[in-house]
Structure 1
Amino acid sequence: MSPGPFDPAIFDHLIDATRDLPTPLLVIDDTVVAANILRLAEVGEEHGVDVRPHIKTHKSSLLSRRQLDAGAVGLACATLSEALGLGEAGVSTEIMVAAPVFLDRPKTELLRRVAALHDRVLLAADSPEGTRVLGGATGFDNVAVMIEVDSGNDRTGVAPEDAGDLASTIEVPIAGIFTHGGHSYGPGKASAAADDEVRALSTALDGMPDPDGLIVSAGSTPTATLAGRDPVTELRVGTSVFGDRQQTMMGSIEPDQVGTAVVTTIIHAAPDKLVLDAGAKTVTKDRAEWLDGYGALPAEPNSTIIRLYDNHGVVSRDETRSGLKVGERVVLIPNHICPVVNCFDEMHLVDEDGADTAIPVDLRGNLA
Structure 2
Amino acid sequence: MGSTEANQILPTFVGATHLLGVDQGPVYNRRSWRLLFNAAVVVLLLSSAFANSSLAEERADAADRYNKLGQESYAKGQYQKAIGFYEKALAIERNVLGEKHQNIAALYNNLGDAWRSLGQYQNAIEYLEKALAIDQEVLGKKHPSTAIDYNNLGAVWYALGQYRKAIGFYDMALAIDQEVLGKKHPSTAIDYNNLGAVWNELGQYQKAIGYFEKALAINRESLGENHPNTSIDYNNLGGVWYALGQYQNAIGYFEKALAINRQALGEKHPNTARDYNNLGLAWNNLGQYQKAIGYYDKALDIFREALGEKHPNVATNYNNLGLAWNNLGQYQKAIGYYDKALAIFSGTLPKGHPTIRLAEANLAAAKKQQRR
Q: TM-score, normalised by structure 2?
A: 0.30
Higher strand share: 1
Higher helix share: 2
Q: Which has the higher contact order (CA 8 A, sep 6+)?
A: 1
Q: TM-score, normalised by structure 1?
A: 0.30
